[in-house]
Structure 1
């Protein structure tokens, strides 16, 4: 169990969190957070190998989450996959691309296989 990679899912959409558990809980250690503040706390204590992050959440947006993550030396190197139900606009995408740890942008409408492949690629450092 100790050698399993760790994934933190930060999303206020509980059905998506349940889907992530179905997809990843067998192969990875999984933690979840229903908002950005909870996610930042768990990022510090859990120190995941990867974060799956929604953009539109109550309290703190995904953009602010990534900036706070990047500003903390303990969490600055954790790769992030942004996965959202909303269409992120070019401004949001360009703001997030400025953050070195954002590796992939996806929509929740992506097939499960594609989501899984992207997660594996980032964890295996195929996507830098």
Structure 2
């Protein structure tokens, strides 16, 4: 992981995507897309350290995107946090958790501070602790 981790945020709700981006941009390089196709392209064009994604998106939804990630050696190693609407059922949560790259499933009603902390925890679990600032 480079000194400033790159995070791809995917959500068809532009307001929510902007909110997540604004929350993270002080500590991370953030790229925003609005569907799974854009997510795959963003992850392939520049090394990516984590993805935060919605499930219900146009063109290629989050589940289909996760399937595509699983078929690609590079994409399959990227940890994913799923952040989705409160109507996300327990059955859907269990379906998403079948994908090994999914490290967290959170509700969109989760506070941005909690999302940022969960992201940091996932990055540390995946890549090791962040080195101290010299």
Q: With structure 2 as the length reference, what TM-score do the two structures score?
A: 0.87
Larger radius of gyration: 2
Equivalent positions of 1:65-76 (< 5 A) are 65-76=65-76
Q: For 1:115, what is the secondary structure of its paired residue?
A: helix
Equivalent positions of 1:10-29 (< 5 A) are 10-29=10-29
Gaps of 5+ in 2: 127-134
- Mapped pair 1:105 → 2:118: no
Q: Which residue of 2 is the match for residue 32 of structure 1?
A: 32
Equivalent positions of 1:77-116 (< 5 A) are 77-116=77-116
- After TM superposition, give the deviation of residue 48 of structure 1 in Å: 1.1
Q: Which residue of 2 is the match for residue 54 of structure 1?
A: 54
Deviations 1:62-113 (A, max 9, x none): 1111110111011111000000124212232222111100010001111111
Q: CA RMSD in A?
A: 1.3
Gaps of 5+ in 1: none
Q: Which residue of 2 is the match for residue 42 of structure 1?
A: 42
Q: For 2:105, what is the secondary structure of its paired residue?
A: strand
- After TM superposition, give the deviation of residue 124 of structure 1 in Å: 0.9
Q: With structure 1 as the length reference, what TM-score do the two structures score?
A: 0.91
Aligned length: 125
Residue 82 of structure 2 contacts residue 102 of structure 2 at CA under 8 Å; is this kept in 1?
yes
